[in-house]
A and B are shown apart, each in its own frame.
Chain A
Amino acid sequence: MSVSAHDRAKTRKGLAGFKFDLKTAGPLVALIVLCAIGFALNPAFASEGNIANILTRSAFIGIIAVGATFVITAGGIDLSVGSMAAFIAGMMILVMNAAVDTMGVSVWTVLLGCGCSVILGLGAGFINGFLTTKGKIEAFIVTLGTMGIYRSLITYFANGGTLSLDSSAREVYRPVYYESFLRIPIPVWVFIFVAIVGWVLMNRTAFGRYCMAIGSNEAVARYSAIKVDRIKTITYVLQGLCVSLATIIYVPRLGSASSATGVLWELEAIAAVIIGGTVLKGGFGRIGGTVVGALILTAIGNILNLTDIISNYLNGAVQGVIIVVAVYLQRGSFQRRRKAE
């Protein structure tokens, strides 16, 4: 007999099996259709410059969404990622500016900023995780709270305005966003790296399996010798790390941070995860789907930019419709499976 975790197509009904298959491939099919539409409306869509642009833009949300996939798969939620990114960006700029004043400009200034970002990301993630597990407060509430805290902290440090990176430091830091390696922009490389590590963690390690077990039934996980609190905390720490990586490639783009940085990123990240086929209630996570979800969201905005059919101001509305449709389709096949039990 051959057992394969991916051979889930064989459900009780032939029809349900078909639906489930469609669901697995669904996001990818949607992305391909979207690209075809984009190309048909404006051939410039498929130009190398535009594709590179879409990939680079999707890297921020995509990297954060990979972290969110773990949090959501383990049954949690993190609303604080957008504010956290703004806060970390602000702190990085303050630290680097201070470093420029004392030790001048070098690669080390930028590395110091990056180190600061990683430490803050890990710390912020740990706080979210610690409060949800040991504090036994619902993740929604904890991260709603930290979301408000980080947002107001960046406003405070920027004095209500904008924090700008010292221009000489920005010159050193600039390539991290604008340069390419093998014709692929650096942010896309980071995205690819994060996605691959995420996929391996989710599908080839005990940690990923434990996340799914906890998300689908925490009691079963606890009775199966899984350290539930520890695993859940790690998902938030990973999320924080992803936010810090996304911030590191985001800061050189504008070289500034303000209270408007990263607004609604949390919702875009969650949307990418859900469009990708991860179950919002937890128990089943798909990193590949998340990557596709992030690309879909960016591609929509890009297509609206390139054509005049729908106003660019309706970007959010189109994204909203796509999210609702994706969740509706997911819900349909989920219920059918539930009933079959």
Chain B
Amino acid sequence: MAGQGEPAPPVILAAKRISKAFGEVPVLFSIDFDIRPGEVHAIIGENGAGKSTLIKILSGLEQPSSGHVELDGQPIELPPDGQAGKLGIVVIHQELNLAEHLTVADSIFLGRELKQGPFLKLRQMRDEAARILDTLHVHIDPEARISTLSVADKQMVEIAKAISRDARILIMDEPTAVLSAAETKTFFEQVDRLKAKGVAIIFISHKLDEVMRLADRVTVLRDGQLIATVGTEALTPDSIAQMMVGRELSNLYPPKHEADVDADTVLAVRNLSAPGVRDVSFALRRGEILGFAGLIGSGRTAVAEAIVGLSPIESGEILHEGKPVRFSDVSQSVAAGIAYMTKDRKGKGLLLSANLKDNLTLLTLKRHYKGPFLDDKSETEALERAVRRFDIRARDPAVKVGQLSGGNQQKLMLGKMMEAEPEIIIIDEPTRGIDVGTKQQIYHIIAALASEGKSIIVISSEMQEVIGMAHRVVVMREGRIAGVLEGAEIAEAEIMRYAAGLKQGGANERLSA
């Protein structure tokens, strides 16, 4: 693609006609890719397009089946197991790899500690860590334990670690997927700083606006093929999205059907207090999609977990179909027809080392008994149904769930929850870290469920999603409900005002109606 004898700095890392197949299954077809110092190069594509495989090859975690990688113009076989760090290629994975019990300074110097003889130079490492954090303009105590930091701060520690290792090429897999809006802004500033220092940055993202904001060039992959590598100035979010899916993305969100204001209340929460939740009251009507917006950590997930019995309720009451209920574990809430789908699909949602079938039926295993034993056939049929209904794509149904793309994992998790046939569905971050095409599918599934009469709570940090889907929006802030929006009030600026604490009140009276 680009990169033949331009005056710009020479290409630092390049992939030449890289192909990759896992067993019989090809995942990349003759991909060319290159990056220069001080450049930000985004790789985008739908789930399963081959993005992750490409960056694994660029960082040495996988070896290409054919083609080769060039570093500084020289063909090189990158050492496996992340040893490429010594060559200046540092990867920051989506799941940050930090030891929770170490301090920030320990983590930054992990594996290359400063020593005097056999002893650690603790003070020097601490000062040096503080200096690096300072150059990043982040305020993190170098002696704080990693476990006490927010996700955003942990990511900053990873970046500091990369800088302290003189990374020349920084590869990031969906760096902003777990960051709030404010944290994302700080992150952008870091990227700009690194860029100014001449670091080459490769990143994968599903957020087209941030690709437009950060990237100099964009490489679009689809089904393992290189579709295009284009300068960002020649692109619009729409044209990128079209290249990604290869079709017009007319309606990301399905049309909202009118909310029935007279529908009966299926779930009423009154003055609920629980860990991270203070005096929350709201009502959910039948067939309604109720959005929960707010900053990360504002208590939305905590409300959901308290309702379904995952965390203890301190005070307040929950009325299900008018009757007070209090669940002490998930089996009770599922039995009552209330299901919660976690946002942490890898940590809490799916068994990554088990196959699709075992994951799908885990929540409802008792339904697959024939006599005293589990019936493999009934489970297999359930999987076949779910694969059809939710369009789950796997090379082979026996594959481990950890090897599925994020979108397919998400659809499988949705399938697992729907196996329980719940009437009230709480979905936490329905589309985190998945591609536009799958997002659209999930939005249509949610809308279809609502029109079938299911009542749905959608918790999301993507404001567009809440705005595009919800009939009413509850905005939370610091464990409390800051406001409830309806109809024309549901707009980005208004939600932000409540979420940021600029506006509040009037909420509870309207809610408990």
Binding site for A on B (CB under 8 A): 22-23, 61, 81, 310, 329-331, 333-334, 340, 342, 344, 347-358, 362-363, 365-366, 369, 372-374, 376, 379-380, 383-384, 387, 396-400, 402-403, 416, 420
Contacts of A284 in B (CB 8 A): 353
Q: Are A5 and B23 in contact (CB under 8 A)?
A: no
Once the chains bind, are A224 and B373 in contact (CB under 8 Å)?
no
In the complex, are the beta carbons of B374 and A227 less than 8 A apart?
Answer: no
Shortest distance from the beta carbon of B50 to any chain A beta carbon, whole Å: 14
Contact of A220 among B22, B310, B348, B380 (CB under 8 A): B348
User: Using a CB–CB distance below 8 Å, which chain A residues touch chain B?
Assistant: 1-5, 7-8, 10-14, 17, 200, 204-206, 209-210, 212-213, 216-217, 219-227, 283-284, 337, 339-341
The 3 closest A-B pairs by CB, nearest first: A225-B331, A341-B402, A225-B330
Q: Is the CB of A341 within 8 A of B330?
A: no
How distant is A234 from chain B, measured CB to nearest CB, in Å?
15
Whether B373 contacts A212 by the Cβ 8 Å rule is: no
Q: List 26 A-B contacts (CB under 8 A).
A: A1-B387, A3-B383, A4-B376, A11-B400, A13-B22, A14-B23, A204-B373, A205-B372, A206-B366, A209-B358, A209-B374, A213-B358, A216-B352, A216-B354, A217-B351, A219-B344, A220-B351, A221-B362, A222-B329, A222-B330, A225-B329, A225-B420, A227-B329, A337-B400, A341-B352, A341-B402
Pick the residue among A2, A12, A213 that contacts B351 (CB under 8 A): A213
Complex interface: chain B residues within 8 A of A213 (CB): 351, 354, 358, 362
Complex: A285 Cα to B372 Cα, angstroms: 20
Write out the residue numbers on chain A whose beta carbons fall within 8 Å of the beta carbon of B23: 10-14, 17
B residues in contact with A224, CB < 8 Å:
330, 362-363, 416
- The verdict on A5 contacting B353 (CB below 8 Å), with A10-B396, A340-B403 known, is no
Docked-complex contact B354 and A212, CB < 8 angstroms = yes
Q: Select A223's contact among B349, B365, B403, B420, beta carbons within 8 Å.
A: B349
B296 to chain A, nearest CB (A): 19
Judge whether B355 and A223 touch: CB under 8 Å.
no
Contact A225 B397 (CB under 8 A): no
Nearest CB in chain A: distance from B82 CB, A: 10
Q: Establish whether residues A12 and B355, one from each chain, have CB atoms under 8 Å apart when the complex forms.
A: no
Contact among B22, B380, B384, B400 with A341 in the assembled complex (CB-CB below 8 Å): B400
Contact B351 A3 (CB under 8 A): no
Chain B residue numbers with a CB within 8 Å of A17 are 23
Chain B residue numbers with a CB within 8 Å of A216 are 351-354
Given A3-B383, A3-B397, A13-B23, does the pair A283, B330 have CB atoms closer than 8 Å? no
How many Å lie between the Cα of A5 and that of B355 in the bound state?
7
A129 to B400: give the CA distance in the assembly, Å. 31
Please tell me which one of the listed residues A3, A204, A219, A221 contacts residue B398 in the complex, with CB atoms under 8 A apart. A3
CB-CB nearest in chain B for A218: B348
A259→B310 CA distance, assembly (Å)? 45
Q: Determine the chain A residues whose CB is within 8 A of the CB of B355 once the complex forms.
A: 3, 5, 8
**Pair B373/A205 contact, Cβ less than 8 Å:** yes
Decide if A223 touches B358 in the complex (CB within 8 Å).
no
Cα separation A12 to B52 with both chains bound (whole Å) = 15
Chain B contacts of A4 at CB under 8 A? Answer: 376, 398
Which residues of the other chain, A, contact B369 by a CB distance below 8 angstroms?
206
In the complex with contacts A8-B398, A205-B373, A209-B365, A220-B334 CB distance below 8 A: no
Query: Which of A7, A13, A14, A225 has the most B CB atoms < 10 Å from its CB?
Result: A225
User: B335: nearest residue on chain A (CB-CB)?
Assistant: A225
Query: What distance in Å separates the Cβ of B385 from its nearest Cβ neighbour in chain A?
Result: 12
A sample of 7 more A-B contacts (CB under 8 A), given A206-B366, A337-B400, is: A1-B397, A3-B355, A4-B376, A210-B365, A219-B348, A225-B420, A341-B402
Q: Within the assembled complex, what's the spacing in Å between the Cα atoms of A2 and B403?
A: 18
Q: In the complex, which residues of chain B have a beta carbon less than 8 angstroms from the beta carbon of A212?
A: 351, 354, 358
Residues in A whose Cβ lies below 8 Å from that of B363: 224-225
Q: Are B310 and A3 in contact (CB under 8 A)?
A: no
Do residues B353 and A337 form an inter-chain contact, with CB atoms below 8 A?
A: yes
Q: Are A7 and B362 in contact (CB under 8 A)?
A: no
CA distance A205 to B370 in the complex (A): 10
CB distance from B373 to the nearest CB of A (A): 4
Residue ID in chain B nearest A12 by CB atoms: B22
Contact A5 B357 (CB under 8 A): yes
A210 CA / B364 CA spacing, docked (Å): 11
Min distance, Cβ A165 to any Cβ of chain B, angstroms: 38
Chain B residue at minimal CB-CB distance from A16: B23
B351 adjacent to A7 (CB under 8 Å): no
Contact of A222 with B310 in the complex, beta carbons under 8 Å: yes
Q: Which of A11, A12, A14, A209 contacts B362 (CB 8 A)?
A: A209
Pick from B398, B416, B420: contact of A7, CB below 8 A. B398
Q: How far is the CA of A69 from the CA of B81 in the complex (A)?
A: 32
A223 touches B310 (CB 8 A): yes
Using Cβ atoms and an 8 Å threshold, which residues of chain A touch B380? 2-3
Contacts of B384 in A (CB 8 A): 1
In the complex the two chains form, is A223's CB within 8 Å of B330's CB? yes
Docked CA distance A206–B358 (Å): 11
| Bound-state Cα–Cα, A12 to B400, Å | 9
Q: Which chain A residues lie closer than 8 Å to B352 at the CB level?
A: 216-217, 341
Query: In the complex, what's the smallest C-beta–C-beta distance from B338 to chain A, in angstroms?
Result: 11
CA gap between A204 and B350 in the complex, in Å? 21
Chain A contacts for B372, CB-based, 8 A: 205
Chain B positions within 8 Å of A1 at CB level: 384, 387, 397
Give the distance in Å from the alpha carbon of A223 to the alpha carbon of B61 in the complex.
Answer: 32
A5 touches B358 (CB 8 A): yes
Pair A204/B374 contact, Cβ less than 8 Å: yes
Q: Is the CB of A5 within 8 A of B334?
A: no
User: Does A206 contact B400, Cβ atoms closer than 8 Å?
Assistant: no
Q: In the complex, what distance in Å separates the CA atom of A220 from the CA atom of B401?
A: 13
Candidates A10, A200, A217, A222; contact of B399 at CB < 8 Å:
A10
Distance, CA A4 to CA B357, complexed state (A): 9
Smallest distance from the beta carbon of A201 to chain B beta carbons, Å?
Answer: 10
- In the bound complex, residues from chain A placing their C-beta under 8 Å from that of B353 are 216, 283-284, 337
Instruction: Report the minimum CB–CB distance from B429 to chain A (whole Å).
Output: 14
The complex places the Cα of A283 from the Cα of B351 at a distance, in Å, of 9
